[in-house]
């Protein structure tokens, strides 16, 4: 085994170990908050649920269940395969991330858009005459060709009507580019 390969394995094991031990990237400059800020800045209204949506609500508890190619969608033919952007080790890292403890609430101090409104805890279902957005804690992983990818679920509700999407982003230069979006729920 070459020295470069040994170093790569060591870095990957350290990364997995940090995730398993509950290490969480925090702060405005973390890739998670970089993607959260990208999403929040693109919202056409400013009501955001402070609590992160749980991926388990949509039965995304493993890499296999998260991969769109493994689902049959009632809304459209699914033709996106996460295997095309992640190698086996990266898939294992996503699997570990899915099972690790994540933050449960958005830290407002790390948001670049300061006029974001968080509804009162008792008003979880809707905000009268305003769209209410909810996002999941982003899954961030390096992929093939060292691109950084972010996977998130975003829900948008206007009073009692809404929809939920799985979104996959790729970091290009200084911005996140949406590369896949799938409607996974409507109400």
| pLDDT tens digit sequence for 105-131 | 999 899 988 888 887 655 555 556 778
DSSP annotation of 67: S
Domain ranges, residue 132: 27-55+102-186
Residue 102, both tokens:
């994540």
Residue 141 belongs to some domain of the structure? yes
Mean pLDDT check: name the lowest of 52-66, 73-87, 132-146.
73-87
Residue 4 belongs to some domain of the structure? no
CB atoms within 10 A of CB 17: 11
Residue 72 belongs to some domain of the structure? no
* pTM, rounded to two decimals: 0.79
Selection from 139, 136, 142 nearest residue 164 by Cα: 136
pLDDT band at 11 (very low <50, low <70, confident <90, very high): very low
Counting the structural domains of the chain, the total is: 1
| pLDDT tens digit sequence for 16-38 | 444 333 334 456 579 999 999 99
The confidence score (pLDDT) of residue 177 equals: 97
Residue 3 belongs to some domain of the structure? no
- The CA distance from 114 to 106, in Å, is 13
Residue 149 belongs to some domain of the structure? yes
The confidence score (pLDDT) of residue 115 equals: 83
Residue 85 belongs to some domain of the structure? no
- The CA distance from 149 to 140, in Å, is 6
| pLDDT tens digit sequence for 156-183 | 988 778 899 999 999 998 899 999 999 8
Residue 181 belongs to some domain of the structure? yes
Residue 111 belongs to some domain of the structure? yes
Say yes or no to pLDDT of 186 above 60. Answer: yes
The confidence score (pLDDT) of residue 156 equals: 92
């Amino acid at each position: 085994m070459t020295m470069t390969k040994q170093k790569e394995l060591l870095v990957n094991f350290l990364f997995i170990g940090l995730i398993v031990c509950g290490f969480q990237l925090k702060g405005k400059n973390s890739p998670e908050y970089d993607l959260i800020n990208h999403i929040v800045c693109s919202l056409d209204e400013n009501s955001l649920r402070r609590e992160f949506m749980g991926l388990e609500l949509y039965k995304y508890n493993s890499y296999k269940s998260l991969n769109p190619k493994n689902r049959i969608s009632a809304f459209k033919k699914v033709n996106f395969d996460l295997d095309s952007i992640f190698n086996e080790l990266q898939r294992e890292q996503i699997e570990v991330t899915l099972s690790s403890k994540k933050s449960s609430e958005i830290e407002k101090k790390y948001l670049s858009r300061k006029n974001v409104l968080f509804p009162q805890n008792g008003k979880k279902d809707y905000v009268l005459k305003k769209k209410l957005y909810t996002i999941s804690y982003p899954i961030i992983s390096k992929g093939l060709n060292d691109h950084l990818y972010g996977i998130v679920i975003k829900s948008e509700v206007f009073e009692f009507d809404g929809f939920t999407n799985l979104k996959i982003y790729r970091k290009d230069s200084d911005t996140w580019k949406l590369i896949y979006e799938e409607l996974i729920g409507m109400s």
